[in-house]
Amino acid sequence: MNTLRQALLLAAFDSQLKWCGRLRDELAQRGFATSVVVPDMRSALSAAQIRAAGFDEVHSAPWGEVMELALRSDVVVCGLSGPIAKAFCFALADRLGGGATGSPVVVTGWVGVIIEKLVAGYLDRCGSDLVAVNARPDLELFIAAARRLALPTDNLLLAGLPFLSPVPRPVRDDPVRRVLFADQPTVPSSDRERLYLYRQLLRYAARHPEREVLLKPRHRRGEDTFHRMRHHPEDLLSTEVLPANFRIDHTPVSDILPRVDLLLTVSSTACLEAVAAGCRVGLVLDLGIHERYGNHVFLDSGLLRTFAELERDEIGAPDPTWLAGYFLGRERTATHVIGDQIEELLASGDRPSRAVWDSDYFRGAARAHRALEPDLGSRAPRPGRYGTVALRRRQRRLGPVRGAVAHLSSALVPPILTGPLRTAGRKAGLR
């Protein structure tokens, strides 16, 4: 008879899988049998992404089967996006009918720095037993929102990001010899803005021929992430003259950081990884501060710089107060903190989610969701409002028929084919 405690981890994209991977390792050390399942919904995990996240394989399952697996587990780590995590909590509440006996401890969180939908993201996850919060400012905002909505806050846990050390290493002061630009899939979103930044990076490389300048795309061409990249740097730079000291490199950021002297990005969570590793950081400011770039959350960081400043080596230092918001100075790692809380909830039988489920806010939201998704317990949630907005945007740009075809193709065509098809469409004048 198998007496091992069971932990189910849910992910659909590589960033989610990496987040789950850190918690998988922690739970495995505590004697849990772990399994990773990808719900039957929009997802994209290549073999390389799965290996990079530290897994040999993942399994796909229909939404109804995912719910059955969850009910048979002791712990469910839900690394899925906010709207899907919310649907999962609603479905679980329906299945359990408010009872706590034999129900799993459900863990939710964010896979990186939150740059949009801060309160919405919290409310999407508030129906779980443990909401792992990455930073002190986020926790303060969530507590304030919860109090306004009469929601209990017992399930909020300031854990920190799982891939960060509790205390960052001292900043290295050796000469800058290797520079890494950590690209993002949708920041900026337009091809013109992206090309502008890439050209600024090429100019930086030309003005510092003694330095190796690397551009790290978020993923390879043909792969996909939660935020879809429409303009890959390899495509945009295909006709540019590249300096001899510049190259595109697909090495994972975590692997290459020990050999990097300066990391540049717009608003990637990679900046925190770099700070943790003692690497200097520049958050590129040339496009300005805007919510669509996500750099508004870094206003207090002390790291925002223009390329002109970076070329002059006027590199900022992290603001101590901002730094303390992400690096919590504890002896325990984030995963250890989360693991301890899971153990405590399992031992006590307490499920903080039940107090949330009993709130008027959760009941009203669940009722509305149930009316819009009557079969939420047996099938994956529909794209909803966001999918509708994307459809209408494509129809405005391409016309009703072509827009609908493009939207359907985006949802159904495998990621490995989207790049070649988009290129063929441009050549045919169908952009």
pLDDT digits (tens, 9 = 90+) for 299-340: 999 999 999 999 999 999 999 999 999 999 998 999 999 999
Could you count the other beta carbons within 10 Å of the beta carbon of residue 170? 7
Do 178-323 and 5-165+332-372 have the same topology in CATH? yes
pLDDT at 28: 95
Any idea how long the chain is? 431
| Residue 165, phi then psi, degrees to nearest 5 | -75, 155
Token pair, residue 97, equals 């009918």
Q: In the numeric block, which tokens belong to residue 401?
A: 């028929």
Exposed, middle or buried, 401 (CB in 10 Å: 0-12/13-18/19+)?
exposed
- pLDDT the model gives residue 234: 84
Q: Which of 80-94, 179-193, 301-315 has the lowest mean pLDDT?
A: 179-193
- Residue 6's Cβ-count burial label (10 Å; 0-12, 13-18, 19+) is middle
List of residues 6+ apart from 258 with CB closer than 8 A = 277
pLDDT (0 to 100) of residue 379:
64
Residue with the bigger pLDDT between 220 and 159: it is: 159
**Would you say residue 191 has pLDDT above 80?**
yes
Written as one letter, the residue type at 188 is: P
pLDDT for residue 384: 46
Contact 156, 110 (CB under 8 A): no
pLDDT score, position 219: 62
pLDDT digits (tens, 9 = 90+) for 55-69: 888 888 999 999 999
pLDDT in tens, 136-156: 999 999 999 999 999 999 999
Q: Per-residue pLDDT averaged across 390-394, rounded?
A: 51
Confidence of residue 88 (pLDDT cuts 50, 70, 90): very high
What amino acid is encoded at 415 in this protein? P
> What are the beta bridge partners of residue 77?
9, 107
Mean pLDDT of the 118-143 span: 97
SS (H, E, C) the chain: CCCCEEEEEECCEHHHHHHHHHHHHHHHHCCEEEEEEEECCCCECCHHHHHHCCCCCCEEECHHHHHHHHHCCCEEEECCCHHHHHHHHHHHHHHHCCCCCCCCEEEEECCCCCCCCHHHHHHHHCCCCEEEECCHHHHHHHHHHHHHCCCCCCCEEECCCCCCCCCCCCCCCCCCCEEEEECCCCCCCCHHHHHHHHHHHHHHHHHCCCCEEEEECCCCCCCCCCCCCCCCHHHHCCCCCCCCCEEECCCCHHHHHHHCCEEEECCCCHHHHHHHCCCEEEEECCCCCCCCCCHHHHCCCCCEECHHHHHCCCCCCCCHHHHHHHCCCCCCCHHHHHHHHHHHHHHHCCCCHHHHHCCHHHHHHHHHHHHHCCCCCCCCCCCHHHHHHHHHHHHHHHCHHHHHHHHHHHHHCCHHHHHHHHHHHHHCCCC
Packing angle between helix 118-125 and helix 136-148, nearest 10 degrees? 70
What pLDDT does residue 175 have?
95
The mean pLDDT of the chain is 86
Residue 240 has pLDDT above 60, yes or no: yes
Rounded to 5 degrees, what are φ and ψ at 279?
-90, 140
pLDDT for the residue numbered 41: 74
Check whether 363 has a pLDDT greater than 60.
yes
Token representation of residue 32: 């849990």
232, 233, 175, 155: which is closest to 199 by C-alpha? 233
Looking at domain 178-323, which CATH architecture does it have? Answer: 3-Layer(aba) Sandwich (3.40)
CB atoms within 10 A of CB 368: 11
- What's the average model confidence in pLDDT over 154-167? 94
Report the predicted TM-score, pTM, of the whole model to 2 decimal places. 0.83
Residue recorded with tokens 């079969």: 375
The reported pLDDT for the residue numbered 97 is 76
| pLDDT for position 426 | 47
Structure token pair of residue 68: 């059955």
pLDDT at 385 over 70: no
423, pLDDT greater than 70:
no
Question: With the CA atoms of 290, 294, 295 and 296 taken in that order, what torsion angle do they form, in degrees rounded to the nearest 10?
Answer: 60
Higher pLDDT, 404 or 351: 351
274 pLDDT higher than 60: yes
Q: Indicate the fold that domain 5-165+332-372 takes in CATH.
A: Rossmann fold (3.40.50)
Domain boundaries, the chain: 5-165+332-372, 178-323, 385-427
Query: Has residue 52 got a pLDDT over 50?
Result: yes
Buried b (16+ CB within 10 A) or exposed e, 344-362: ebeeeeebbbbebbebebb
Residue 359 clears pLDDT 60, i.e. is over it: yes
Q: Cα–Cα distance between 9 and 306 in angstroms, integer? A: 40
**Segment among 66-70, 230-234, 256-260, 404-408 with least mean pLDDT:** 404-408
Mean pLDDT of 89-108: 85
- Position 203 scores a pLDDT of 96
